[in-house]
Structure 1
């Protein structure tokens, strides 16, 4: 059963002769336990797709449905609550607070969202799974790029969302690191039972995905469906 659906999504920017059709009749769905890639080059509409899927901006037309709730029918407070409780983000910048230790980054999540997060034992297991259990007293500036990424993933998953959205998680990584990231997201989708949606230009991740979509000039096409049976 789909935990997130996009139905006939269109997005325009600008007006008159400057009007640009960024997304065109997009249809998309994701279920828990799936890793789904949306692959496309720079300027293809990937980031707009991700921010609309995550409720950070509204489409010009069409419907976004999260856990059977039609997002455009919710007021701002309801949309914010839906996003807080059910959608996690791993952005390119990682957006860690530079003056907070890893442990404090996670504590901050608990202050913003006091209920329905991972339990202490579940969080400990996640940190071990991500290989960052020994970094909890480090500041972001003391972490490598890969460690920073894993902390950002832990922070997103600590809130126990149904959906994890990741933006270009393999940017500037060599092939060995890409394989590590692909395996990690595949494992997280299965073991944490999340719908993991990754927007990327990196086709090397396709090996690990249940479904692969291609986005080009605002048009989305399913290239590789999940194998069932």
Structure 2
């Protein structure tokens, strides 16, 4: 059974002559244990698709469900709780708190989500896998773009979500790091039984994907 399902999603921006049809009758689903790649050029609607999939934006038409639960029928508080417990985000702007060190980013999560996060030992192992453990006392502005990106990936995985939604997670990484992050995410999907959805224009990730979709001009097609 699919853990995340989108049906007949339509999204518009603007009004009258400036109205743009960003997503067009979009259908999508992903099972646990799968890493799915959504490829598309800039402006194709990838980020809009991802934020709608995670309940950060509302479609004009269509439905979104997590484990069969319709997100659009939940109250804002229920939706926030669902995102906190079920979905991990890796967004393009990293969403790191600038005045907290790398390790304090995780301590902040502990204050918001008090149970179900990975153990201290598992966090250490994850940071070592991403080659950022030695940076645990650094602030975001002391990190390179690639290091901030890897920290954002670690923070998204920290809550042990069932679904991970990643927006261009390898954009700031060189080819060797892309291979490391791609393998890490594929292993987490397959061995950790998570559904991982990556929207990107980075074709270097194709070798790690179980399924590949293409999004062009708001139309999503598989293969």
TM-score (norm 2): 0.93
Q: Please report how far the alpha carbon of residue 101 of structure 1 lies from its aligned counterpart in structure 2 after TM superposition.
A: 1.2
Check 1:132–1:49 CA distance in 2 against 1; reply closer, same or farther (3 A cut).
same
Q: Spell out the pairing of 1:49-88 with structure 2 (5 A cutoff).
A: 49-88=49-88
Using the alignment, how far apart are the partners of 2:73 and 2:175 within structure 1?
43
TM-score (norm 1): 0.91
1:75-103 deviation per Cα after TM superposition (whole angstroms, max 9, x unaligned): 11111111111111111121212221111
Match of 2:213 in 1: 213
Q: Please report how far the alpha carbon of residue 172 of structure 1 lies from its aligned counterpart in structure 2 after TM superposition.
A: 4.6
Q: Which aligned runs of 4 or more in structure 1 are off by greater than 4 angstroms?
A: none
- More displaced, 87-96 or 10-19? 10-19
Q: Spell out the pairing of 1:1-229 with structure 2 (5 A cutoff).
A: 1-223=1-223
Q: Please report how far the alpha carbon of residue 16 of structure 1 lies from its aligned counterpart in structure 2 after TM superposition.
A: 2.4
Query: Is the partner of 1:38 in helix, strand or coil?
Result: strand
Q: Please report how far the alpha carbon of residue 118 of structure 1 lies from its aligned counterpart in structure 2 after TM superposition.
A: 1.7
1:39-85 deviation per Cα after TM superposition (whole angstroms, max 9, x unaligned): 00011110110010010011111110012210111111111111111
Using the alignment, how far apart are the partners of 2:71 and 2:138 within structure 1?
38
- More displaced, 102-111 or 9-18? 9-18
Using the alignment, how far apart are the partners of 1:146 and 1:172 within structure 2?
5
Match of 1:227 in 2: none
Number of residue pairs matched by the alignment: 223
